Amino acid sequence: MYTLYWSPASANMTPHAMLEDIGVPYELVKVDTSKREHRKPDYLKINPHARVPTLIYDGGKILYETTAIAMFLAERHPASGFAPNTDSPDRPLFLQWMAYLTNTLQIALMHWWHPEHVIDGTDRQAELKAKAEQRAVGMFRFLDEHLAKSGPYLCGQTFYVCDYYAAMLAQWTEFMAKPAHANPNVNTLIRMIMQRPGYARMLKAEGIEQPV
């Protein structure tokens, strides 16, 4: 039995979709960040960084950080095919994309959504937001070029959880001047991901209308 603490359209989208695909019993606990529930003492006891998602497993063990949760679920439920085996030729690329999406692209998007977490002053925050959007647009263009040559999935012909992660991050760009889905090959990837039952059920449960 798993428990996933979540907030709509946050980084919990990926593990939420995975849990739907895996088909194991799990419970969702909504954390209303607009009411600062992520800052309340009870939540800080399980995630001192005041972020979602947080996964509770094996009767009370705690795991946070989306990539860690995704890798944990992929390795614990190998039959779901979320990650290539360690001896698979896809494994190095899979690790590369999981790191790139988390440490490079997601950082730019977080700077766009929350420049106040990085720098003080309205004018400086606006400058950071503009630069972050420029970087994110360039990164999705890079992903689009990669998919054009080596797609339709990030690792080629096979779906892995890194593709869920990419679709999740694409959803975060819907209010940008050039959202991720404006790139044709990224758009194709998003459409394929949205056809997967677990991802589709996650979107419905979280009340998300992902643009394509």
Looking at 80, 110, 141, the residue that finishes a domain is 80
Is residue 212 in some structural domain? no
Where do we find the tokens 């990837």?
189
Give 65-86 pLDDT, tens digit per residue: 999 999 999 999 999 999 999 9
pLDDT at residue 92 in the model:
98
**What average pLDDT does range 187-206 have in this prediction?**
98
pLDDT at residue 113 in the model:
97
pLDDT at residue 135 in the model:
98
Q: What is the CATH number of the domain that holds 22?
A: 3.40.30.10
pLDDT at residue 179 in the model:
98
Where do we find the tokens 């394929």?
192
CA dihedral sign, ordered 81, 87, 88, 90: positive
Is residue 44 in some structural domain? yes
Contacts 24+ apart (CB under 8 A), 104-110: 104/139, 105/136, 105/139, 105/140, 105/143, 105/169, 106/11, 106/169, 108/132, 108/135, 108/136, 108/139, 109/136, 109/169, 109/172, 109/173
Is residue 23 in some structural domain? yes
What is the tally of structural domains in the chain? 2
Give 47-67 pLDDT, tens digit per residue: 999 999 999 999 999 999 999
Domain holding 6, by residue range, is: 2-80
- Residue 191 carries which side chain, given as an amino acid letter? R
The HSE-up count of residue 32 (CA atoms within 13 Å, CB side) is: 2
Q: What is the CATH number of the domain that holds 179?
A: 1.20.1050.10
Looking at 19, 52, 80, the residue that finishes a domain is 80
Mean pLDDT of the chain, nearest integer: 97
* The two structure tokens encoding residue 116: 């106040």
Is residue 211 in some structural domain? no
Phi, psi of 82 (to 5 degrees): -80, -20
Same domain, 21 and 107: no
**What average pLDDT does range 177-188 have in this prediction?**
98
Q: Which residues pair with 63 in a beta bridge?
A: 55
- pTM of this structure: 0.97
What does the alpha-carbon distance between residue 120 and residue 152 come to, in Å, rounded to a whole number? Answer: 41
pLDDT at residue 162 in the model:
98
Q: pLDDT confidence of 143, banded at 50, 70, 90? A: very high
* The two structure tokens encoding residue 58: 């094996």
Task: Decide: 163 and 188 in contact? Cβ < 8 Å.
Answer: no
Phi, psi of 61 (to 5 degrees): -70, 145
**What average pLDDT does range 187-194 have in this prediction?**
98
How is residue 90 annotated by DSSP? T
Is residue 55 in some structural domain? yes
Q: pLDDT confidence of 202, banded at 50, 70, 90? A: very high
Sheet of 2-6: strands edge to edge? 26-30, 2-6, 54-57, 61-64
pLDDT at residue 93 in the model:
98
Same domain, 128 and 182: yes
Give 86-128 pLDDT, tens digit per residue: 999 999 999 999 999 999 999 999 999 999 999 999 999 999 9
pLDDT at residue 146 in the model:
98
pLDDT at residue 169 in the model:
98
**What average pLDDT does range 155-167 have in this prediction?**
98
